Amino acid sequence: MMAVKHISMIYARSKTGIIGRRDGSLPVKCRDDMTFFKEKTMGSTLIVGRKTYEGLPPLSGRSIIVLSKSVTSAPSRACPSLVAIIDNVEDALSKAREIGRDVYIAGGREVYETFAGMGVIETVYETIYDDGVEEADGDVKYSYTPLSEDGKGLVVKDTLYLNGCHVNVWR
């Protein structure tokens, strides 16, 4: 069994913590952030929840593992990058180890909270939109809270400035 190279979390939020809508869609799309997401995750494995998966456009060049407690077959749209639909985190990580690539935890809120609570996240890429996302634009909130196995937690080590947003890099 191959080892997972690196486990990261990647997400975008408003200043007030809005990350999406209950249907899995994004409240706003920033071209520079979408480019950043593509560049970071290309050639990797994404672990996402079912609603997030259904809200994603087709993502070539990445393997996708969908976490779902209720769905056992491909969600409403098939995607050639879909590797597996798995009902628990441990099996999702095992599948990611088999693939042997960097892993990005890419949503939604429950998936973020689960992985953050396990203390396995090594890097967090947190895009914060500078303007344009109000409370009414979404109903799902998340904001990373540092946690690691040694109790020291991750801290912001770098900030990247994009057009209309910035990315905090936690390590």
Provide the domain limits for residue 96.
7-170
- pLDDT recorded at residue 149: 56
Confidence check: pLDDT of 80 > 70 = no
Domain with 114 in it: what CATH number? 3.40.430.10
pLDDT tens track for 108-166 = 999 999 999 888 999 999 999 887 666 557 889 998 876 555 656 788 999 999 988 89
Q: What are phi and psi of 48, to 5 degrees?
A: -140, 160
List the Cα angle 72/64/8 in 5-degree steps.
Answer: 125
- pLDDT recorded at residue 3: 65
Q: Is residue 81 part of a domain?
A: yes
pLDDT tens track for 23-58 = 878 887 788 999 999 999 999 999 999 888 888 888
Q: How confident is the model at residue 70 (pLDDT cuts 50, 70, 90)?
A: confident
Q: Report the domain count for the chain.
A: 1
Cβ neighbours for 167, distance < 8 A, ≥ 6 positions apart: 33, 36, 125, 126, 127, 128, 159, 160
- Which of 23-37, 70-84, 92-106 is least confident? 70-84
- pLDDT recorded at residue 63: 93
Q: Is residue 142 part of a domain?
A: yes
Q: Is residue 163 part of a domain?
A: yes
**Nearest-angstrom CA–CA distance, 130 and 120:** 29
29 token code pair:
């799309």
- pLDDT recorded at residue 30: 83
- pLDDT recorded at residue 150: 60
Distances (CA, A) of 27 to 68, 75, 98, 156: 22, 22, 34, 25
Confidence check: pLDDT of 72 > 80 = no
pTM of the complete model: 0.89
- pLDDT recorded at residue 147: 59
The runs of H, that is alpha helices, within 100-141 are 109-118
28 token code pair:
């706003």
Find, among 115, 128, 141, 111, the residue nearest to 169 by Cα.
128
- pLDDT recorded at residue 1: 53
Q: Is residue 2 part of a domain?
A: no
Q: Is residue 1 part of a domain?
A: no
